[in-house]
Every structure is written in structure tokens, then in C-alpha cells.
Structure 1
């Protein structure tokens, strides 16, 4: 075993990123390393229970500065609509002084980051190595972030891009226009990510060679940086807290594998019409369902935005919640048979390692690449068809769910077989723990 090191982890202020970094912290702490995780104060309540090694993992609280355009008290992407995230990026950048002070006193050997593109400068100044830890898919990075290309090129595969079905189609290229948006003070989203990739010591991706090896090889070649695989980096089942009683009691009423669970992540806030169409789509399936999404635009609760008569019609078999739920524990409940997701990278891994059928409703650029990877490359899921408006009709949502939940459909059986095979190979003896061990060893050599 190599020498023990002290690592600082500084994730983007979105729950999908912060929880991914905390899972990484747990794996490093388990191997005897000391971790300092830099976070906004308001996330402690949700993240502290996930800290499995409180003696080795310390939360260092950052004060989030006020920024014109950012609502008072906003500290994470869950507090704001997606259109204001550029202001949150400015706030994160303005914590640089606090981060430098913490680094000066803490003397870390390694600093992990994702969106804070200035971390390589800080690391060099204080003699630390820095790791760009990407919580998005390698496929997304390989087509979107390539030296010498501009964001406008992302709809077309770069030279040398591996043979793949992970591509954008038609109007979807517009979804990647956000790459050119200002994201922080004087920097676009594209420049922010490219700077981090070009200046770090090592690129590290939360993925497996079995799924994305060819994309990682491409990234390694383009950036001339070693790419390290971490594996899925999800918590072990033994370390997951039990499911809240109310959800456990409710789910226990239904047959194994019969309930549809739908969640679109912490960043997506639907228009009221979209929210209602989603609810009606779930109703149309005829199956029991649990929907956990944020209240739609203009509503303070999900209840006030539900379609007329909806609650009365589905009261025996359907629940819509606007609160944060314990997603890994819900997916592990025997009654859950289908996971309808936005295909953020964390949810993608949770779905792959579950026994559920997988239906995908991507919203943002990265989610579309993940969806292509799942539905077309690996053939383990079904994507809900879009209308010309860009949204999804209740019929399309219901149709996609029924296509995988009906026991004798060809498509349902195909994705079920492929998913079971892939899950088995990932969970077979030592594969995931092997990734973690090799990863920790590679970091010990880096230090």
C-alpha cells in the first residue's frame, strides 16, 4: 500500500455532483486517506448522513458570496432555476480566496475538482496535484470537449471519435447552445470545462472500461492526460440508510416489480403543462406509480399544479411528491419495476445497477448523450419519443413505459435481457471493488 495522503474535494454546487464526490470521499477514506470536502452550509443536512467515515472525512464550510442576479440564500442548483446557474458559478468562483486559505492551512496532497477551472493554478501554487473528477459520461466529454474545436462543432463527431451511436440528431444540437453561455465571471461553460481538462494533472471519470472504454481512450489521446476509471462509485447496499417508513408502507401494498418510479433530478423544473402531461402519462399506464419532481414553474407545491380530478382518479395507486426522496432506497424496493429518469449520470448508474426496467426522458445536453449510450449503444433502456414541440405527450410517456413493462413485448424482453447481462458483469465478483483499488493505487503513485 502506498503512502497515505490528504485530499481536498471541491465539487460543483449541485447535488448530483456533491453526492458523487462524497461517494468518492467514502472510498478514499475506506483505504485510510484523509479527506476535506468543501461545501456550502445548507447541504450538510442531506450529505452528513452519507458520510460513512466521519473521523476521516471533514466538511469544510464555504460562505457563498452574494452575486447580483442570484437570489439571497441560494447555495446550490436546487435553489434556483437552471437559467440562473451562471450566477451560481460566479459565486463559486468568488469563494477562491476561502479555498486558497483552506489549502494553505490544510496542505492537501491532492485536490479534486470539476467546475472550478482555477483549481489547477491553486494546486500548483501550494504544491498539490489536481484531479479533474468528471461526473458526466466519457461519451459526452469525447464529443463536446475536444482541443481545437468550438462548441458549434459538437453536433458533428470529431476526427478519430470512436465508432458509436452516441450522437445528437436534428434540432438536438440546439440543446448544446448552453456551452457558449456565460457561466461565471468572464467565462463560458465550454471554456470552464476545457480549461480544467487542459490544466489538470490527471482526468478521472466515474465510469467503467466495459461501458465507455473507447471514449476514455479518445479523451486520453486528445488531452495527453492519463484518464483514470473510478467505476460507478455508488454506495454499497449495506451502507444505505433504510427507506422512510411512509414510502416503505406505501410501496409494500403493491406486487413485486409493478410500480413505476419517476424522478427528473434536482435541476429540472417543468412548465406547468409539461408537469401535467407527465402526471397524465403516468396515469395512462394503468400501473401504480410514484413521481418525485420539483413543483413546476409558478407553483409552490406539486399538489396545486396537478391536473383537475387527477388525485381522486389515482388515489389508490399514484403519488406525486415535490420533496427530496431517497432514490437508491426506492429503487432497491422489490415493488419498483420501472425507473423513468432524466438520465443524469448518477441516475444512469443507479438504474444500471438496479433490477428495474429503464425509461429515459432527457432534458439537457449531457443527458441526451447518456440516453443514446443507454438506449442505442447498450440497448438497456427506452427513450420517450419527443413531439415536434420538443416536449413529450402523455401517450408517448405511457407508451414507452408499457413497452418495457408488458411482459411479452419484444422490446421489453430485449432491454431486460441486456440490462440483466450488463448488471451481472458489473456486479460479478470484484469488478467494481477492483476499479476502486486500482484507482486509489494510481492516485498514491501520483502523490
Structure 2
């Protein structure tokens, strides 16, 4: 049972997918296995520093073919200026012949994928096991399988329909979710029901009931990886940049608000300004890492009038890449305002920060509901009837967790501390990862011996 395997990885071309896939690749490589990681050329340069085992993990760059609506030079969802990630998946679908040729030539044992629904069919033809590795929450995967009770699917106790999830969001988001997201759900479901194995980046401590539901619905074995990221920042490839470390050192422990909405955030200028003003109104030092959309060529042009002068001693708005886990681990950061994307969710939970969520997309809305209403480890920013959030609602959410006498703040802090204590218990995260890798090895060996 000591044989090693070779795995291909073909995640959605988005950094929120690349990074957890690369964390998984590092874990597999640590155990002596080989990985061929398929990704765009520009992304390769940005991710090379996260490859801890370059002799075992080959970052194999691909060139996206042109498709209608894909801007010249765009390779990932971060290169798009709107919510239409469809053009990226359309381009990824056109890479089938290239990928099939690579698979036939290198003959891997496994191929991991998430959104590209034809991978199981291709893998079966060549004799390779396919693994649908979902980095979103199990609750979201369950929704993909049963997007509404009206479809007649059995659902876990308390599971909401997608209509319920989006209540309180604007009509545009609802329309987007029910059209493009249902299309994506359909493709994801095809992959889930045709693959050999399902793997989800979650733990039974948080989402056990949803994992059982998925296993029953798909009639497939569901393996859990746990969060699948370095268990401590001491294992990080590099320390926090001096510029950020020096600046953050100027504030009291636990006093600063860090706001980041992920690499795939789409926030209009007016809402961006409300975000900045809401953080300003909270009266605390802050770092905002968010890019506005449309009408502005620079971050400075998009800022509210007089904003920079008012906050120059205590706040920065940054439009570029930031080392989010390292910033979260800095002692001055006390609150993390984020979109509840999968990576940010896990980084929130294993941090010491208070958590405030501003979900933007359907899966984020559902995960926010799980953490804020069921587990009560966070608060969410309330939205107006239009679906927008106001500067006042953001201010109130931040103050509710940061004011020392806040009843809500103390409740979510206690619950968060208990959950974090469970998640970082020695051996828990590594145990999930080790069991997952062993299960993969058994699957490969069983196929070879049959």
C-alpha cells in the first residue's frame, strides 16, 4: 500500500479555487505523490511562491482560446469587470482536446476538477479516476443538487430553498443567481453524479448533515479534506511584507478592522464608497483591500470626497493583492470584514478576529446564514430592500462586534473561540488531510489491482 500516485488538477480559473487546490497539491506532494496542475500562464507566475514542492508539483500553463465576451489578455475571473464568469468556463470547456492529449500522454491515476462537467466522461474513456473536489461549503454543494424544495428533492432539516436564501437581496442578484448560477449548478451536478469520488473542503464538525445529504443524493463516496491550508502561519513560505508589518505595528492589539472581499469581488463605485464610509464611521483603524468597478481608473478617484484627508492617520484603501492570512495573524487586527468566500470563511474561523460578513454571491449568502444564524460565530451586514448595504448598516455591524460591552459581540466571540478551539485542536486538521490522502491511495490501488 506504499505506492505513489500521479494526479492532474483542473480547477476553475479563479484564485479562490487555485489557492485551495494548490494547498491540496502541497499536501499530496508532502506524502510523496506527483501533481500536474493545469492553470493559465499569468496565474502560474502569481502562484509559484505557494508551490512548496516544485519538484513534485508541475504548474502546467495553458492558453485560453478566444470566446465571445472574454477580454483580450483575460485568463481568470479576477480579470473580468463583471459577474459573468461564464466566459471563463466557456473558454475552459474549449481546452478539452489539449487536456485529453496531456492525460493520454502522462497517464495520471486521478484528475481533480470542480466546474468542468465533462472531466468524468473524459477520464472514464482513458481509464483515470475523476474526483469532484468542491472548495465551496457543503451547504452550497447541497443547494446545487437541490436548488429549491419546489424541485422535489429531499433536503436536510432546516435547509432553505434558494429563494429563501436570497430574500433581502436585490432583484439583479436574484436574477443572476437563478439564471447563471442555476446553469453552473447544472454543470456541477453533472460532474458530481458522474465522477468516481466527491471531495469537499469542509469538516463534519461544521457541515456533517449536508455531507450526508450529498452522499445520499449522488450515491457516491464523499471524502472530507478539512480546511486544507497551512495549520499555522509559521509554515508560510514567506513572512508578511515589511511595509504592511511596519504599518500594522503602529496600532494597538485587536484594534484594527481588515476588510477584503476576495479576488472575484464586483462592487460598483457607489457601493464601494458606502463601504469606505461605513468603515470610517466605525471609528477604528482599518485596512480595506477592495477594488471598485467602473468609472474610475484608480482607487483614489473612486474614494469619497475628502476621505483620504480624514483617515490618513488611521486607514488605508488598497486595490492590489494582499497576503490575507498573514495580515489576519497580525496582533493589531481585531475584526475581519469579508464576503464569506470559502477561503475567507476558513481563514476567519481559525483567526482570533471578530467576523463580519458582506456576502456578494449566492453561495456566500448561504454560508453566511450557516455561520451567522445557526452557529452564531459572526454577524452579517444588513441590507436594505434594494439589496444594497448602507454605510450605517456596515458601521453598526462592525461596532456590534468590536464594542467591548456589546452583548452580540461577546456572544459571537465566545462561540467563535469554542469553534476555533475545536478546529485547531492538535491533529484535527492534519488528521482530515492524512485520512483523505490515504483514501485516495486506496482508491488508486484498488483500481490497479482490479
> TM-score, normalising length from structure 2?
0.94
- Helix, strand or coil at the partner of 1:213: helix
Per the TM alignment, residue 238 of structure 1 is displaced from its structure 2 partner at its CA by 2.4
Per the TM alignment, residue 172 of structure 1 is displaced from its structure 2 partner at its CA by 4.5
| Cα distance change, pair 407–182 in 1 and its aligned pair in 2 (3 A) | closer
Matched, 1:245 2:223: no
Uncovered stretches (5+) of structure 2, i.e. residues with no partner: 445-450
Partner of 1:233: 228
- Equivalences for residues 135-214 of structure 1 within 5 A: 135-146=135-146, 151=147, 153=148, 158-163=153-158, 168=165, 170-172=167-169, 175=173, 177-178=175-176, 181=179, 188-214=183-209
| Cα distance change, pair 300–173 in 1 and its aligned pair in 2 (3 A) | closer
Per the TM alignment, residue 69 of structure 1 is displaced from its structure 2 partner at its CA by 1.5
8 Å CA contact 1:164, 1:377 repeated in 2 = no
Matched, 1:61 2:56: no
Per the TM alignment, residue 378 of structure 1 is displaced from its structure 2 partner at its CA by 1.0
- Equivalences for residues 349-364 of structure 1 within 5 A: 349-364=346-361
8 Å CA contact 1:405, 1:412 repeated in 2 = yes
What is the rounded CA distance, in whole Å, between the counterparts of 1:189 and 1:122 in structure 2?
19
- The RMSD of aligned alpha carbons is 1.8
Partner of 1:366: 363
8 Å CA contact 1:110, 1:129 repeated in 2 = yes
Partner of 1:50: 50
8 Å CA contact 1:265, 1:342 repeated in 2 = yes
Residue correspondences, number: 439
Per the TM alignment, residue 190 of structure 1 is displaced from its structure 2 partner at its CA by 2.4
What is the rounded CA distance, in whole Å, between the counterparts of 2:168 and 2:217 in structure 1?
27
Show CA shifts across 1:389-446 (max 9, x none): 1011101101100000011111111100110111111111111111011101110111
> TM-score, normalising length from structure 1?
0.95
| Cα distance change, pair 177–48 in 1 and its aligned pair in 2 (3 A) | same
What is the rounded CA distance, in whole Å, between the counterparts of 1:227 and 1:3 in structure 2?
23
Matched, 1:41 2:41: yes
Partner of 1:409: 406
Per the TM alignment, residue 380 of structure 1 is displaced from its structure 2 partner at its CA by 0.4
What is the rounded CA distance, in whole Å, between the counterparts of 2:400 and 2:177 in structure 1?
34
What is the rounded CA distance, in whole Å, between the counterparts of 1:105 and 1:159 in structure 2?
43
Matched, 1:15 2:15: yes
8 Å CA contact 2:81, 2:266 repeated in 1 = yes
Per the TM alignment, residue 13 of structure 1 is displaced from its structure 2 partner at its CA by 0.3
What is the rounded CA distance, in whole Å, between the counterparts of 2:177 and 2:149 in structure 1?
10
Matched, 1:222 2:217: yes
| Cα distance change, pair 323–199 in 1 and its aligned pair in 2 (3 A) | same
- Helix, strand or coil at the partner of 2:292: coil
- Equivalences for residues 418-429 of structure 1 within 5 A: 418-429=415-426
Matched, 1:376 2:338: no
Partner of 2:321: 324
Partner of 1:90: 90
Matched, 1:115 2:112: no
Q: Which moved more, 1:293-302 or 1:426-435?
A: 293-302
What is the rounded CA distance, in whole Å, between the counterparts of 1:310 and 1:255 in structure 2?
23
Per the TM alignment, residue 179 of structure 1 is displaced from its structure 2 partner at its CA by 5.2
Per the TM alignment, residue 181 of structure 1 is displaced from its structure 2 partner at its CA by 3.6
8 Å CA contact 2:8, 2:37 repeated in 1 = yes
What is the rounded CA distance, in whole Å, between the counterparts of 1:90 and 1:154 in structure 2?
29
| Cα distance change, pair 221–173 in 1 and its aligned pair in 2 (3 A) | farther
What is the rounded CA distance, in whole Å, between the counterparts of 1:17 and 1:155 in structure 2?
30
8 Å CA contact 1:243, 1:330 repeated in 2 = yes
